Structure 1
Amino acid sequence: MTLEKNPPDLAALQSIINRSIRTATPSVADSLAFPARQMTAPQFVEFWTSVRLVAMATVGDHGQPHIAPVHARIEGATLRLVIYDNTVRRVDLSRNPRVAFTTWDADGAAAIVYGRAREIDGSIRDARPGQSGKPRSVVEIEVTLTRIYAMRAPSRSSIS
């Protein structure tokens, strides 16, 4: 990933983080969005780019959840990712663009991110064959971020 191509927009990300904290429900504010562990936009970008995979959640047409690991990179105040063109996530997104992502690390840092996804027109391209050997394609997805809850790992003194 090259951040220079379309670097994270730290001011926009900080604005989303601040709005998310202000409007958090009491439960979220008490467990994720509190000052002692809240990440700043630069800390969030550093954390997000350091994790290998994130879990992406979509909702099916009858309300059933779908979740899968994906690679999602930050560009501007959006996330970009690719999914296989024949996945249930693609069908879900065509009916309901709302998505959620979460990731964490072994030290206790965590992030929950919400947004609205859209398929990038003309982005479908060939991908490597699957286990079956059949050809596959991927499509690029852009997610406009709407909420970010990002919590730093606890300090050693707070867990002793």
Structure 2
Amino acid sequence: MMTSQELTRRLADLAGEFSVAGASAALWHKGTLVTATTGTANTATGAPVLPNTLFAAGSVTKVFTATLAMTLVDQGLLELDAPVREYLPDFQAANSERSAAITVRMLLNHSSGLPGDYMPDLAPGDDVLERLMREFTALPVTGTPGERWSYSNMGMGTLG
């Protein structure tokens, strides 16, 4: 098992190689936790990354969401070409016809036509995705579902 010192050295090397201002990492293996931090959490203030520094999860979670979705596909519990409404009957954006046309595959490949950067300020909680879905009723489907690629945070939130 890697030590915290080794992980810190490796993390610092990678941050330097890829021009990352600051990062933290943790490994858990057989009951042992190894942690590391490097760099700054805020380039304007120079505040260092500390073990309790919070980072916005951002797009890292998209990989986890997509992996879990494809696991469900492999298990026969999720169909890529099924309409989202098959799994979320109340799924409804401002344009009902376009909402109905959105499939699971379109959420995964960012071709749903859902807005890319709509990020409401929702309080944390186990029900945050449910509350996010309620935000949809006022959102337009900005493109024709399946027609073109456009990065969509809301699409991945829906998939989650």
**TM-score band (shorter)?**
under 0.3
TM-score of the two chains, using structure 2 as the length reference: 0.27
Q: State TM-score, norm by structure 1.
A: 0.27
- Higher RCO structure, 1 or 2 (CA under 8 Å, sep 6+): 1
Structure showing greater Rg: 2
More strand by share: 1
